[in-house]
Amino acid sequence: MTLRGPTPGDLPDAHRRLVEELRRLKGRHGWTFAQLARKTGYSTTSWYRYLSGRTMPPWEAVDALGRLAAQEDGRLRALWEVAAARQPVPGPARLPDRGEQAAPVGAAPRRRSRTTVLGGLLGTALLLASSLALLSPWDGAGRTASRDPAPQGAPSGEPEWPWPLPAATGTAPGVPCLGDGCRGRDPYRLGCDRGSVPVHALSAEHHTLTLWYSPLCRAVWAEVVPGAGTSRLTVSTDSRATSAPAGDARTGMLGTTPGRARGSVNLPGRQLGVGARTSWVVDQ
């Protein structure tokens, strides 16, 4: 069983990035679908659905592949949480099928036991009950502001924000801009989204604001989903900024390091914001 062609063009950007990253890990190690099934406990059919973009994978499957590939956990978790938060029904909305309940064999990564459907239901309930927000946004007066819950199926506990981002080692062939030369330009049209990583994401007020960094182009941009009803979507540093028209879902790029960048967007009566080490929800 092999994958043919690119991921479906109608996938949301965040889901597409997750699928591309999982495909990259599979391809780097040369695993077949049968090998993935044996090593992770998820069926070959399930992996085909996940890597073709037909089904949003549960976090446990993403975590299993990441552990198998010795992949840094923070990046995969962020990619999955952002993608899951943008699904029509947040997160996977079904129990694993019988093939996915098989116990891992060989060099299997650590993962929760799935001995019975009842145990799976109880584990899911406990997991959702203990899930915490990624960071506690504040409203400028020391009070914690309300934010949307973590996507269904997210692991318990707080992720480690931020995690080290890969450093750019030079301009790859075909990359048309670098750093300041990318200012105001669309990251997707230029291909700067290839290998991009979420610096920080905030879900609040039924919107998700994400600050993205491209090691390839050494630039950042901000995205908000949904874009309708928003204004002043901006990515900035202390001295520079670029903004998107009202209602747009993303800004152009700004050449800078991820640690110096911030993203913000205005909603009716409130502003959402993210930086490398902080997030906020403030009244306007």
- Residues 177-224 have pLDDT tens digits of 899 999 999 888 888 887 788 899 898 988 889 999 998 899 999 999
**Percentage with pLDDT > 70 across the chain:** 67
Burial class (CB in 10 A: 0-12, 13-18, 19+), 28: exposed
Number of folded domains that form the chain: 2
**279 lies in a domain?**
yes
**100 lies in a domain?**
yes
Instruction: Report pLDDT digits (tens) over 211-230.
Output: 999 988 999 999 998 888 99
- Which one of 64, 98, 129 terminates a domain? 129
**196 lies in a domain?**
yes
**138 lies in a domain?**
no
User: What pLDDT does 267 receive?
Assistant: 95
CB contact set of 58 (below 8 Å; sequence gap of 6+): 91, 92, 96, 153
Spatial separation of the C-alpha atoms in residues 271 and 282, rounded to whole Å: 5
- Which one of 65, 98, 129 terminates a domain? 129
In this structure, the answer to whether residues 119 and 189 fall within a common structural domain is no
In this structure, the answer to whether residues 106 and 201 fall within a common structural domain is no
In this structure, the answer to whether residues 93 and 188 fall within a common structural domain is no
In this structure, the answer to whether residues 184 and 260 fall within a common structural domain is yes
User: What pLDDT does 266 receive?
Assistant: 96
- Which one of 97, 112, 129 terminates a domain? 129
**1 lies in a domain?**
no
Cβ neighbours of 191 (radius 10 Å): 17
In this structure, the answer to whether residues 38 and 97 fall within a common structural domain is yes
In this structure, the answer to whether residues 216 and 116 fall within a common structural domain is no
Cβ neighbours of 69 (radius 10 Å): 17
Output the 3-class SS for the chain: CCCCCCCCCCCCHHHHHHHHHHHHHHHHHCCCHHHHHHHHCCCHHHHHHHHHCCCCCCHHHHHHHHHHCCCCHHHHHHHHHHHHHCCCCCCCCCCCCHHHHCCCCCCCCCCCCCCCHHHHHHHHHHHHHHCCCCCCCECCCCCECCCCCCCCCCCCCCCCCCCCCCCCCCCCCCCCCCHHHHECCCHHHHCCCCCCEEEEEEEECCEEEEEEEECCCCEEEEEEECCCCCEEEEEECCCCEEECCCCCCECCEEECCHHHCEEEEEECCEEEEEECCCEEEEEC
**111 lies in a domain?**
yes
Mean predicted lDDT score pLDDT of the chain: 75
Q: What is the largest CA-CA distance in the chain?
A: 56
In this structure, the answer to whether residues 193 and 105 fall within a common structural domain is no
The boundaries of the domain holding residue 59 are 13-129
In this structure, the answer to whether residues 92 and 193 fall within a common structural domain is no
Q: Which residues of the chain have pLDDT under 50?
A: 90-146, 161-170
Beta bridge partners of 250: 223
**235 lies in a domain?**
yes
Burial class (CB in 10 A: 0-12, 13-18, 19+), 206: exposed
Angle at 204 between CA 72 and CA 253, to 5 degrees: 60
Spatial separation of the C-alpha atoms in residues 263 and 68, rounded to whole Å: 34
How far CA 162 is from CA of 74, 78, 159, 187, 275, in Å, comes to 8, 10, 8, 22, 9
In this structure, the answer to whether residues 188 and 110 fall within a common structural domain is no
In this structure, the answer to whether residues 188 and 103 fall within a common structural domain is no
Instruction: Name the residue with tokens 């459907």.
Output: 117
Six token digits for residue 230:
């928003």
Spatial separation of the C-alpha atoms in residues 261 and 209, rounded to whole Å: 14
Please, are residues 179 and 255 in contact by the beta-carbon 8 Å criterion? yes
In this structure, the answer to whether residues 187 and 112 fall within a common structural domain is no
**173 lies in a domain?**
no
CB contact set of 142 (below 8 Å; sequence gap of 6+): none
